[in-house]
Amino acid sequence: MLEFYVFFVFFAGGFALWTALFDRRNVRWRWWFAGSLIGAATLVPWLVHVLTTHSAPDRSLTNTFEPLFWPFWLSYPLGYNLFTTFGSDSGSFLAWPTIDGVSLYLVTVAFVVITLAGLAIGVDAFRLLVRPRREQPARPLGGRATDTALALRSSFWGYGLLFTLTGFVFYRHYLIVAYALPFVSLAVGALLRPSRGRRLLVALVVAQAALSIGYLTYIHVRGGARGGDYGIAYDHKPEPHT
Q: What is the pLDDT along the chain (242 residues), one digit of tens a residue?
A: 455 566 677 888 888 888 888 877 777 888 888 888 887 787 787 777 766 765 556 667 777 888 889 999 999 999 888 888 888 889 999 999 988 889 999 999 999 999 999 999 999 888 887 776 677 777 887 766 788 888 899 899 989 988 888 888 888 888 888 888 999 999 999 998 889 999 999 999 999 999 999 999 998 888 888 887 767 776 655 455 55
- Long-range CB contacts (< 8 A, 24+ apart) of 136-145? 137/192, 137/193, 138/191, 138/192, 138/193, 138/194, 140/187, 140/188, 140/191, 140/192, 140/194, 141/188
177 DSSP 8-state letter: G
pTM given for the model: 0.80
The pLDDT assigned to 6 comes to 63
The pLDDT assigned to 107 comes to 94
The pLDDT assigned to 176 comes to 85
Choose among 8, 11, 79, 74: nearest CA to 46.
Answer: 8
**Three-state SS for 99?**
strand
Q: By the 8 A CB rule, do 103 and 96 touch?
A: yes
